[in-house]
């Protein structure tokens, strides 16, 4: 159900409304989709190198407007300004990667040949696509969906999060300035009910969603009913396994830096830290020390040792509820666990241990600044705990001994694995998961292989 009569951008640091945009009229949907289909007819006929040149111009504009775009993100969803600038630059890298490599990645591929004929696999666009994007990485999520598909020749209908109207408008402005033809990329301020109508429309050929498990289930059901291809990037409860370390302080600093990125609001964040028993007590004590030193701060100021607000009042309320339920289930709250005493949607970074395995809260995703730590007694125990989740997005294993982390990592049920580091995040590296973290991949070479007709063409010699 729609939670607001308009798209509404609220500054999480202050609670002030920045931007409001009305939903589209349902009567407009047909015209919007028709415009996408009409644009597809000419966009796909444009040589792929010409499409790539326009996508490269998008990359240039992200670079040229990095400060302006980052400030929009910071005031709309509370991302620390330095992280917002980093995300904006990452978008430029993604668009440039596909502008540079897309023509090669979409090139024909020989399948077979004999004395009388040969066959090739052609990669051809499929038509209008619907993207349903979240608020937590509001530029990056759009870039990884839009960039390969624009190069391929597909057209885009983009439904952004209802809390990100200013971000959505900024992306549309960049597309227009880059010379993307009318109808090829259309931002639509749609309700959930209107999204369902768009999915059902026979012209729309596929849907990409990044969001919650609940949203993914709903979209997958609708896509399946209408026989539409879908790519889903959903939640995660990523294990971060520390089997051994030569430096507890550094190990904690590294783990905390990953956990606090975007104030813990990342699908592939290290939400479960699994630590060997011989270093567990020291690890927890050092984590409590470092977390206790963090203070709430203005996300636009970039002050060290500060944390930013949650993205919304609802997100803050949810994480507090989860912390309280974890404590009721028998967990120990070492520090934090409450709202910060200041305006905005600030939640104190929280260290939790002892969440009982098998409890309801144990299987939930903590989408906020909660450091959850588990003690294990063996590598086998660590692997069992790491895989005891309905999710399977990212993971990481650390060990000082050669080969030890690799051995455990080999059996992790995850779409991405890091050994003595977090998994790579780059335009070249595929992103996606298994189990209830969704299906399909974005970025890298395989990012161009989701919404494409891999057409077989056979010719007589």
Residues assigned a catalytic role? 233, 267
Averaged pLDDT of the chain: 97
Looking at residue 300, what is its pLDDT? 95
Region at 227 (left for phi over 0; alpha for psi -120 to 50; beta for the rest): left
What are the tens digits of pLDDT across the range 363-405? 999 999 999 999 999 999 999 999 999 999 999 999 999 999 9
Across the range 17-45, mean pLDDT stands at 97
What are the tens digits of pLDDT across the range 424-451? 999 999 999 999 999 999 999 999 999 9
What are the tens digits of pLDDT across the range 37-47? 999 999 999 99
Looking at residue 1, what is its pLDDT? 38
**What 3 state SS string does the chain have?**
CCCCCEEEEECCCCCCEEEEEECCCHHHHHHHHHHHHHHHHHHCCCCHHHHHHHHHHHHHHHHHCHHHHHHHHHHHHCCCHHHHHHHHHHHHHHHHHHHHHHHHHCCCEEEEECCCEEEEEEEEECCEEEEECCCCCCCHHHHHHHHHHHHHCCEEEEECCCCCHHHHHHHHHHHHHCCCCCCCEEECCCCHHHHHHHHHCCCCCEEEEECCHHHHHHHHHHHHHCCCEEEEECCCCCEEEECCCCCHHHHHHHHHHHHHHHHHCCCCCCCEEEEEHHHHHHHHHHHHHHHHCCEECCCCCCCCCEECCCCCHHHHHHHHHHHHHHHHCCCEEEECCCECCCCCCCECCEEEECCCCCCCHHHCCCCCCEEEEEEECCHHHHHHHHHCCCCCCCCEEECCCCCHHHHHHCCCCCCCCEECCCCCCCCCCCECCCHHHEECCECCHHHHCCCEEEEEEEEEC
Question: Is the pTM value of this prediction over 0.85?
Answer: yes
What are the tens digits of pLDDT across the range 227-282? 999 999 999 999 999 999 999 999 999 999 999 999 999 999 999 999 999 999 99
**pLDDT surpasses 60 at 181:** yes
**pLDDT surpasses 70 at 3:** no
Looking at residue 302, what is its pLDDT? 86
**pLDDT surpasses 80 at 4:** no
Looking at residue 5, what is its pLDDT? 79
**pLDDT surpasses 90 at 422:** yes
What are the tens digits of pLDDT across the range 283-333? 999 999 999 999 999 999 989 999 999 999 999 999 999 999 999 999 999
8 A C-beta contact, residue 237 and residue 271: yes
Task: For residue 64, give every residue at least 6 positions away whose Cβ sits within 8 Å of its Cβ, in sequence order, or none.
Answer: none
Residues linked to residue 294 through DSSP beta bridges, in sequence order: none
Residues linked to residue 7 through DSSP beta bridges, in sequence order: 21
**pLDDT surpasses 50 at 2:** no
């Amino acid at each position: 159900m729609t939670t607001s009569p308009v798209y509404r951008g609220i500054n999480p640091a202050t609670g002030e409304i920045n931007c409001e945009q009305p939903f589209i009229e349902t009567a407009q949907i047909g015209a919007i989709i028709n415009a996408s289909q009409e644009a597809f007819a000419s966009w796909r006929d444009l040589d792929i190198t010409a499409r790539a040149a326009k996508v490269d111009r998008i990359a240039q504009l992200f670079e040229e407007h990095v400060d302006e775009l980052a400030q929009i993100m910071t005031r709309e969803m509370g991302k620390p300004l330095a992280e917002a600038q980093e995300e904006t630059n990452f978008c430029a890298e993604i668009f440039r990667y596909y502008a540079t490599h897309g023509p090669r990645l979409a090139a024909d591929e020989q399948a077979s040949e004999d004395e009388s004929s040969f066959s090739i696999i052609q990669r051809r666009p499929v038509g209008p696509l619907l993207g349903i994007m979240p608020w937590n990485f509001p530029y990056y999520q759009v870039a990884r969906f839009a960039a390969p598909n624009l190069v391929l020749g597909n057209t885009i209908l983009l439904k952004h999060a209802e809390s990100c109207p200013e971000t959505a408008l900024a992306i549309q402005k960049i597309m227009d300035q880059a010379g993307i033809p009318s109808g090829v990329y259309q931002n639509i301020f749609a309700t959930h009910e209107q999204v369902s109508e768009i999915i059902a429309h026979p012209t729309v050929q596929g849907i990409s969603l990044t969001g919650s498990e609940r949203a993914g289930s709903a979209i997958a059901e609708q896509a399946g009913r209408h026989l539409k291809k879908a790519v889903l990037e959903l939640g995660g409860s990523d294990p971060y396994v520390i089997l051994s370390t030569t430096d507890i302080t550094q190990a904690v600093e590294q783990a905390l830096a990953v956990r606090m990125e975007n104030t813990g609001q990342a699908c592939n964040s290290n939400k479960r830290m699994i630590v060997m028993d011989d270093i567990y007590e020291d690890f927890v004590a050092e984590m409590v020390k470092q977390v206790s030193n963090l203070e709430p701060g203005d996300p636009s100021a970039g002050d060290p040792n500060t944390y930013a607000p949650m993205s919304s009042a609802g997100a803050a309320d949810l994480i507090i509820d989860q912390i309280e339920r974890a404590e009721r289930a028998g967990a120990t709250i070492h520090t934090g666990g409450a709202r910060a005493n200041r305006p905005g949607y600030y939640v104190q970074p929280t260290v939790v241990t002892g969440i009982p395995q098998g409890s309801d809260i144990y299987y939930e995703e903590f989408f906020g600044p909660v450091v959850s730590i588990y003690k294990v007694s063996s590598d086998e125990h660590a692997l069992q705990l790491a895989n005891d989740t309905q999710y399977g997005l990212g993971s990481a294993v650390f060990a000082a001994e050669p080969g030890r982390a690799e051995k455990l990592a080999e059996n992790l049920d995850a779409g991405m694995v890091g050994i003595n580091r977090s998994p790579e995040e780059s335009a070249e590296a595929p992103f996606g998961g298994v189990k209830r973290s969704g299906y399909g991949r974005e970025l890298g070479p395989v990012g161009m292989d989701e919404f494409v007709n891999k057409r077989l063409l056979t010719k007589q010699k």
